[in-house]
């Protein structure tokens, strides 16, 4: 049955009072947003008819039932008032139950605005996984009891669909489809800001679909979609103009738009990480005043919670979230494009609520698993106290480890360090759900990064450091779309197309640090940018002394914080042991001052204070300032460099901050290291016994080089590296262009005693390498 016939069948089955009106598009939305009273029903419980979109469904296709239902309820989104479900028996005899849901039909006007067509009713969506005849019965329960439809059947036919994505059984660090095909997510975040007090943006859906189409055209197969707070939210505080009716009532215009997002995803081969809610709006301490009005769970906005911490143990808040999960699973869980469910965007771990939050995550995941017949993987993303992450990530119910990365000066090095730790600790996929650069560097526009170097590194670095997919970039509209950088995704998709990520023997490649057998005649001294990471951003790291050796990799790089804290509870200034071969300088790049007008930077060289400079935070200071009411702090942008001259020789340098809260900083040492002697190439990759897929990055090829306007020196040809652990035999070595895509050169190699020697080409920014045993696959 096609879409028109289904619409007609639905209209014919709708009971009186269920808004069964002609499918026309109103000239204006004024007065057509549905109040709560229009959604209530007062009739004797009865199933008056069931219309199916078809009686032959391809395996992992969609069966949609339109149910004409009479019942008594006030809120059709509350299953305690009306519980609609479908009980099925698969050809194998397996019994399944699928929840139903209430929806309102919309259509798009020529202006791009979505408008209700007047049709509302009940639906059930199901995706069969077994070929053969299914039997089913539709059931409905309200306060008066339960009614059941007559038994019905449909036929599931064979198809070539890959089906749902799951965690690989053979290699739990990666994903695979039901068909056995590996799945490597490559894509970005999709969201459109939707303020309160205004109708949903007219072109919101068109903007989402455009991003998805352009991504799919460029090899992408993944989006992270935000169904929360100030993005594409289905639930919010009472706001008639924005279409929100309060907690437990789901905004139908947005829900209809999400239907269209899933339809396009299915057509274009895109999988969706479906983010259910935003901790920054509802359960974290509010950093900005503008966020509080979005918290529909607070009592002052119609919710059940007196404070944000109440959420984790409040029975009504728990019930509301369960209902939200049920509606999400019922309406969109049928789609194989639903890759996974993400409970929260960025729950901030705190000791005050970690016990309750951990228990909540376990209980909510068990509930969702019980109502989701397709067993979509479950995740949540974390921030806050990193020492508490394990309390969530170690739960067996949390099937994907997810973090967001922004403040790293050298993204590739920071992610390599993080992934080595995470993949060793957890036998689960690890995923970078958001990637970008810290504030103060173009605010997502990044005009100074003309061809998307940071976007590029964020895709390749985690993929070959052990992540289950490429990092998902955050600033899509202001950067990727505005400067047409979609093409950056295609080379990675091409390079990894034949890689069997779910192979049991796939693991980190064993590659020696590349080195010159004979140094080039011309040597260059370059600046050294000290890598920083946010793992210990708001707690004292276990290591605070670091040896910055000009000719060797840096140990414990993940413990160097991008903050200099003032308060004793967090203050742990780093000490850098350095060796300058010739006179140079230690540079502190102060981006932000947070606190009050007493904030200062101090730098000590060999125990003597070399610099003290004020960076006051306050109204009207710096480049711009904003007030953080929760902490009574000012945040002032400076983007200034403090240069401390340093003589040749060995020194100890310690930067500190005094004042109220912190300085946000970066560090570099000028004229510090011989580029050719300082391991200028980073190599990461994955390998099996008969193949290796490697990414070789010039360490200078990162965003700080562009931002600081430093010269990007190419790594000359002549370096060698050894791949260990391969089976002996002949190998084909392919060198790939990571920006234009395709093979640029091939070599033949011989592995003897498990050792294969690589002769490396000139590397301007980065290259990729495929090592394939002749006569074997990847």
Element (H, E) at 282: helix 279-282
Taking alpha carbons only, the member of 696, 643, 638, 687 closest to residue 663 is 638
Q: How would DSSP label each residue in 592-609?
A: EEEE-TT-EEEEEETTEE
Model confidence, pTM: 0.88
Q: Which two tokens stand for residue 661?
A: 């809260």
Rounded Cα distance, 213 and 202, in Å: 19
Rounded Cα distance, 414 and 90, in Å: 48
569: left (phi over 0), alpha (psi -120 to 50) or beta: alpha
- Alpha-carbon distance values, 435 to 472, 559, 592 (Å): 6, 19, 20
Which residue ranges does the chain devote to CATH 2.60.40.1180?
510-521+679-773
- Compute the CA torsion angle 469, 475, 476, 478 (nearest 10 deg): -160
Rounded Cα distance, 276 and 341, in Å: 7
Q: How many residues are recorded in the chain?
A: 778
3-state secondary structure (DSSP) of residue 583: coil
Q: How would DSSP label each residue in 447-463?
A: TTSTT-HHHHHHHHHHH
CATH of domain 199-497: 3.20.20.80
- Extract the residue ranges of the chain whose pLDDT is less than 70: 1-35, 287, 407, 439-440, 776-778
Residue pair 55/155 in contact by the 8 Å Cβ criterion? yes
Taking alpha carbons only, the member of 732, 722, 778, 777 closest to residue 754 is 722
3-state secondary structure (DSSP) of residue 422: helix
Strand 400-405 and strand 41-52: the pairing is unpaired
Residue with tokens 């352009």, as numbered in its chain:
214
Own/partner long-range contacts of 20-25 (Cβ < 8 Å, ≥24 apart):
20/118, 20/119, 20/121, 21/117, 21/118, 21/119, 22/117, 22/118, 23/105, 23/107, 23/117, 23/118, 23/119, 24/117, 24/118, 25/107, 25/108, 25/109, 25/115, 25/117
Residue 693, beta-bridge partner list:
686, 770
Element (H, E) at 73: strand 63-73
For the purposes of burial, counting CB atoms within 10 Å of the CB of 488, is it exposed (0-12), middle (13-18) or buried (19 or more)?
buried
Residue 83, beta-bridge partner list:
141
Which residue ranges does the chain devote to CATH 2.60.40.10?
3-157
3-state secondary structure (DSSP) of residue 9: helix
Rounded Cα distance, 543 and 392, in Å: 25
Rounded Cα distance, 500 and 319, in Å: 42
Q: Give the sign of the dihedral formed by CA 438, CA 493, CA 225, CA 364.
A: negative
Q: Report the pLDDT value the prediction gives residue 168, as an integer from 0 to 100.
A: 98
Residue pair 509/477 in contact by the 8 Å Cβ criterion? no
pLDDT for 407-456, tens place per residue? 677 888 888 888 998 999 999 999 999 999 876 677 778 889 999 999 99
Taking alpha carbons only, the member of 449, 448, 473, 443 closest to residue 460 is 473
Q: Which two tokens stand for residue 718?
A: 């002549």
pLDDT for 597-631, tens place per residue? 999 999 999 999 999 999 999 999 999 999 988 78
CB atoms within 10 A of CB 567: 12
For the purposes of burial, counting CB atoms within 10 Å of the CB of 114, is it exposed (0-12), middle (13-18) or buried (19 or more)?
buried
User: Across the chain, how many H-helices and E-strands are there?
Assistant: 12, 42
CATH architecture of the domain covering 525-676: Sandwich (2.60)
Which residue ranges does the chain devote to CATH 3.20.20.80?
199-497
Residue 289, beta-bridge partner list:
none
Taking alpha carbons only, the member of 670, 681, 777, 754 closest to residue 720 is 681
Rounded Cα distance, 3 and 6, in Å: 5
Which residue ranges does the chain devote to CATH 2.60.120?
525-676
Three-state SS letters, 152-215: EEEEEECCCCCCCEEECCCCCCCEEECCCCEECCCEEEECCCCCCCCCCCCCHHHHHHHHHHHH
How far does Cα 593 stand from its chain's mean position? 28
Backbone Cα Rg of the chain: 28
Supply the angle between the helices 315-332 and 354-371 in degrees, to the nearest 10.
40
Those residues with Cβ within 8 angstroms of residue 393's Cβ, 6 or more apart along the chain or in another chain: 382, 401, 426, 428
Q: Report the pLDDT value the prediction gives residue 535, as an integer from 0 to 100.
A: 81
Rounded Cα distance, 417 and 423, in Å: 10
Residue 409, beta-bridge partner list:
none
CATH architecture of the domain covering 510-521+679-773: Sandwich (2.60)
CATH of domain 3-157: 2.60.40.10
């Amino acid at each position: 049955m096609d879409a028109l016939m289904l619409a007609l069948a639905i209209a014919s089955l709708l009971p009186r009072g269920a808004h069964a009106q002609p499918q026309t598009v109103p000239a204006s939305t004024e007065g057509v947003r549905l109040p709560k009273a229009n959604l209530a029903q007062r009739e004797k419980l009865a199933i008056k008819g069931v219309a199916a979109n078809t009686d032959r469904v391809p395996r992992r296709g969609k069966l949609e039932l339109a149910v004409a239902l009479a019942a008594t309820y006030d809120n059709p989104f509350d299953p305690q008032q009306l519980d609609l479900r479908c009980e099925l028996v698969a050809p194998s005899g397996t019994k399944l139950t699928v929840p139903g849901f209430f929806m309102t039909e919309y259509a798009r006007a020529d202006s791009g605005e979505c408008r209700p067509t007047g049709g509302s009713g009940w639906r059930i969506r199901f995706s069969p996984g077994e070929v053969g005849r299914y039997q089913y019965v539709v059931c409905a329960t309200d306060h008066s009891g339960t009614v059941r439809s007559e038994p019905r059947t449909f036929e599931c036919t064979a198809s070539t669909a890959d089906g749902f994505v799951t965690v690989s059984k053979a290699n739990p660090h990666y994903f695979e489809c039901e068909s056995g095909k590996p799945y490597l997510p490559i894509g970005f975040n999709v969201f459109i800001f939707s303020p309160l007090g205004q109708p949903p943006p007219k072109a919101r859906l068109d903007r989402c679909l455009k991003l998805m189409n352009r991504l799919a055209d460029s090899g992408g197969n993944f989006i992270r979609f935000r169904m929360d707070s100030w993005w594409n939210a289905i639930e919010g505080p009472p706001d008639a103009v924005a279409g929100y009716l309060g907690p437990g009532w789901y905004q139908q215009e947005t829900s209809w738009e999400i239907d269209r997002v899933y339809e396009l995803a299915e057509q274009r081969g895109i999988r969706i990480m479906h983010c259910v809610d935003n901790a920054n709006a509802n359960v974290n301490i509010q950093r900005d005043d503008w966020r509080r009005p979005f918290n529909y769970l607070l009592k002052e906005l119609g919710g059940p919670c007196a404070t944000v911490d109440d959420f984790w143990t409040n029975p009504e808040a728990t019930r509301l979230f369960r209902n939200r999960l049920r509606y999400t699973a019922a309406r969109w869980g049928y789609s194989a494009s639903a890759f996974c469910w993400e409970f929260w965007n960025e729950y901030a771990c705190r000791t005050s609520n970690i016990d309750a939050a951990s228990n909540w995550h376990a209980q909510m995941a068990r509930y969702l698993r019980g109502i989701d017949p397709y067993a979509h993987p479950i995740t949540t993303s974390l921030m806050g106290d990193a020492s508490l992450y394990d309390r969530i990530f170690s739960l067996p119910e949390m099937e994907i480890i997810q973090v967001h990365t922004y403040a790293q000066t050298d993204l590739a090095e920071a992610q390599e360090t993080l992934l080595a730790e995470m993949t060793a600790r957890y036998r689960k996929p690890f995923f970078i759900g958001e990637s970008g650069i810290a504030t103060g560097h173009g605010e997502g526009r990044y005009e100074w990064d003309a061809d998307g170097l940071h976007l590029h590194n964020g895709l390749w670095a985690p993929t070959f450091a052990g992540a289950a997919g490429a990092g998902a970039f955050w600033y899509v509209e202001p950067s990727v779309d505005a400067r047409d950088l979609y093409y950056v995704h295609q080379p990675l998709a091409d390079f990894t197309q034949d890689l069997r990520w779910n192979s049991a023997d796939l693991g980190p490649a064993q590659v020696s640090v590349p080195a010159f057998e004979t140094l080039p005649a011309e040597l260059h001294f370059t600046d050294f940018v000290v890598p920083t990471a946010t793992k210990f951003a708001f707690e004292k790291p276990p290591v605070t002394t670091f040896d910055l050796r000009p000719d060797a990799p840096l140990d414990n790089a993940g413990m160097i914080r991008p903050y200099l804290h003032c308060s004793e509870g967090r203050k742990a200034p780093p000490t850098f042991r350095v060796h300058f071969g010739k006179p140079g300088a230690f540079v502190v790049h102060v981006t932000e001052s947070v606190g009050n007008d007493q904030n200062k930077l101090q730098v000590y060289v060999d125990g003597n204070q070399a610099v003290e400079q004020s960076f006051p935070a306050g109204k009207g200071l710096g480049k711009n300032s904003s007030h953080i009411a929760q902490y009574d702090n000012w945040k002032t942008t400076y983007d200034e460099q403090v240069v401390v001259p340093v003589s040749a020789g060995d020194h100890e340098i310690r930067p500190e901050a005094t004042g109220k809260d912190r300085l946000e900083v970066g560090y570099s040492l000028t004229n510090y290291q011989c580029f050719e002697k300082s391991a200028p190439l980073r190599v990461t990759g994955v390998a099996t016994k008969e193949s290796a897929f490697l990414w070789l990055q010039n360490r200078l090829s990162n965003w700080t080089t562009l931002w600081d306007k430093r010269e990007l020196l190419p790594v000359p040809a002549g370096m060698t590296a050894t791949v260990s652990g391969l089976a002996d035999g002949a190998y084909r070595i392919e060198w790939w262009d990571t920006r234009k895509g395709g093979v640029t050169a091939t070599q033949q190699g011989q592995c003897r005693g498990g050792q294969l020697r690589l002769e490396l080409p000139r590397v301007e920014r980065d290259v990729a390498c495929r090592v394939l045993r002749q006569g074997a696959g990847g």
